[in-house]
Chain A
């Protein structure tokens, strides 16, 4: 359990990148980008975790109870919003690209090169 969550993080990152690189469909590629980003959530919450501690809410528990790190949770929330925003924008691009190119294969979405 010492490093296992972090190994999973590296695995998710690598798998997501593999998906982006081998993708033949833009929507598939965007989903793979979501997977890449999900590795950062697991990493963030993983580094802020403390064994046996409670969630950082002190409504009905005493203020001195050991709690996990609230900061990484705030960062992860920001991260989720960024994910939603970037994905929405990319999907709009994809819809337009499909209209203009008639395909969503990144290899054929080539207007410019060189």
Chain B
């Protein structure tokens, strides 16, 4: 029994309670608060990394209150941890550490609650990754959600932040209740809440309506959190208004945790019953590709830099889901590496945007054009991170995407490569366009969209703008994260290790044995074999192609009006997307309508294809 497994959740919770209890003492002593939050999240990160390495030989289980399964029936709650879940949780802890360091100088005033909420948010994310009990999964999901809603509204004096928080809270709550309904339905069948036990009880039977319904309801909440089209609308609203250090967590890990939830639930509970049906691949691949394309298009036409990055997150979420949808170990491993690489560079990008906001007081690309020249180092970090986001080798992102594509090609889905590369070019092009325009003053400022100018006008009060220097506590986390995204690719045997972890993640029988009998058995019975993981020419070409394509696109966008073709009346991106834009109405009633319609359609497809 490894006590670390419990402590990674309990320590941040206890620290959150402690700083609230000592509120009157700490209120005037902000540095103590900052230090407490940084030290706690860093300690959690270290513990989780230790757990990740310890679980490489085999998954670890922890039975709370010591209630081990009796006769292979779980009576307590367990944490069942493998390298993938521990790795994702440690990614969350690392990003929380980075953003609390960043906050050291970022907020002029910050209360006790900011730090307490960051810590409960971290505890929720960690518990969500580690738990092996499906209702416990819901509890941590809600803790994570409620902390995130409160953090989104952390600057309630602004209209946008309230609207964003309301849309976020209502859509995600509806999703969580659907998830809970699914949990209740599956409990009604199996009389169990332990995921391994449910998987064992369901496996071997033909999937009937109840299994399909429970599966879809449970994952609906996670798909909403994972911002998969058509459940993605809340994300841009929330990201645009949440304080920038919080956006780092939203984009970097929270969305990815939703997709982790889908993968966890599928592989530990439903894989045996639903089979590795072509329908599962078909449904998730469709969702993933659709999300990738929609996110990339929206991203490219956006001028509000935080929203631009938010849409790029949606696009990437689609790519991660694509990796999962292949159901192969390499696809999952690719998605995992992609998540890690993306989280590091995306966090760095958001931190750079925070610096811009701190120094210049705006996130409007048009207004900022050329004004960021003085921020030299920030510009360099932003550009590097943008290239990383565009999958430039040797950033880890190119490996993740390359493996996803390779695995897709091995299943005869070559066209995935084309879609992913095109989307990467669009997303990378948009972010590089911002880099070139804002930090180097290249080309012309994009034409002003009046409506948007109004939207981004309310962006000043989260930090005292107009500072002359960039504090080291802001630029160092951004730099370190970018370098980490770079260094990750040089991890020895990265591919082999992650793929081995992915094989174990997909091995339902092995997971059952570990959890319910406490024995480690290794018999990869996954329907798809492990594949070669080295760095191939195709990986490098696809990554470099995306980055170069992104650079070219960025230059075209910046110098568009000086090009001789089609100069008048056509801004790249806008005409293409204007009709779709109506969907992103900002009205939560609409968002819920799309969620209901989306669930009904998905349900219909699943009902007719799995039986």
Contact = CB atoms under 8 A, between A and B. Distances in A.
Direct contact between the two chains A and B in their complex (CB within 8 A): yes
Interface in B286-307: 307
Given A100-B162, A114-B451, A29 B169 contact: no
A86 interface: yes
A90 B166 CA distance: 7
Interface stretch (B151-159, B428-436, B532-540): B151-159
Nearest to B590: A21
Contacts, number: 128
A96 interface: yes
Interface in A93-114: 93-94, 96-97, 100-101, 106-107, 109-114
B166 A72 contact: no
A55 to B, nearest CB: 18
B592 A47 contact: no
A100 B159 CA distance: 6
Contact of B159 (A9, A46, A86, A101): A101
Interface string B139-151: 1001000100110
A68 interface: no
A113 B185 contact: no
A96 B586 contact: no
Contact of B188 (A29, A47, A94, A109): A47
Nearest to A42: B184
Given A47-B188, A110-B163, A112-B237, A22 B586 contact: no
B587 interface: yes
Given A72-B187, A96-B153, A114 B452 contact: yes
Nearest to B577: A114
A111 B455 contact: yes
A33 to B, nearest CB: 6
B180 interface: yes
B592 A96 contact: no
A40 to B, nearest CB: 5
A17 B170 CA distance: 11
A31 interface: no
Interface string B165-202: 11001100110010011001101100101000000000
B329 interface: no
A47 B458 CA distance: 49
Interface in B453-487: 455, 458
A112 B184 contact: no
Question: Which bucket holds chain A's interface residue count?
Answer: 35 or more
B586 A112 contact: yes
Contacts of B158: 100
Interface residues of B, number: 49
B187 A111 contact: no
Contacts of A89: 146, 149-150, 169
A81 B458 CA distance: 35
B80 interface: no
B160 A21 contact: no
Contact of A39 (B181, B191, B585): B181
B588 interface: yes
B174 A107 contact: no
Interface in A66-93: 69, 71-72, 75, 78-79, 82, 85-86, 89-90, 93
A43 B185 contact: yes
A36 B174 contact: yes
A2 to B, nearest CB: 13
Interface string A38-65: 0110011011100000000000000000
Contacts of B451: 114
A110 B587 contact: yes
B174 A20 contact: yes
Contact of B588 (A29, A69, A96): A29
Contact of A96 (B162, B170, B174): B162
Contact of B584 (A26, A47, A69, A114): A114
B180 A97 contact: no
Nearest to B158: A100
A106 B585 CA distance: 11
Contact of A114 (B581, B587, B589, B593): B581
B173 A33 contact: yes
Contacts of A93: 149, 153, 156, 162, 165-166, 169
Interface centre among B153, B184, B191 (most CB of A within 10 A): B184
Contacts of B307: 112
B110 interface: no
Nearest to B451: A114
A14 to B, nearest CB: 9
Contacts of A9: 181
A12 B236 CA distance: 30
Contacts of B159: 97, 100-101, 111
Contacts of B236: 112
B323 interface: no
Contacts of A82: 142
Contacts of B513: none
Contact of B163 (A13, A71, A86, A112): A112
A63 to B, nearest CB: 17
A103 to B, nearest CB: 11
A109 B173 CA distance: 19
A80 to B, nearest CB: 12
Given A89-B150, A90-B169, A112 B240 contact: yes
Contacts of B146: 85-86, 89
22 contacts: A13-B181, A20-B174, A21-B589, A21-B593, A23-B589, A40-B180, A40-B181, A40-B184, A47-B188, A69-B191, A71-B193, A75-B135, A82-B142, A89-B146, A89-B149, A100-B162, A106-B166, A109-B162, A112-B160, A112-B164, A113-B581, A113-B586
Interface of B: 135, 139, 142, 146, 149-150, 153, 156-160, 162-166, 169-170, 173-174, 177, 180-181, 184-185, 187-188, 191, 193, 236-237, 240-241, 307, 451-452, 455, 458, 581, 584-589, 592-593, 596
Q: Which A-B residue pairs are the 9 nearest by beta carbons?
A: A47-B188, A113-B586, A111-B160, A110-B586, A97-B162, A100-B159, A96-B156, A43-B184, A111-B159
Given A22-B589, A40-B180, A86-B169, 4 more contacts: A36-B174, A48-B187, A75-B184, A114-B452
Interface of A: 9, 13, 17, 20-23, 26, 29, 33, 36-37, 39-40, 43-44, 46-48, 69, 71-72, 75, 78-79, 82, 85-86, 89-90, 93-94, 96-97, 100-101, 106-107, 109-114
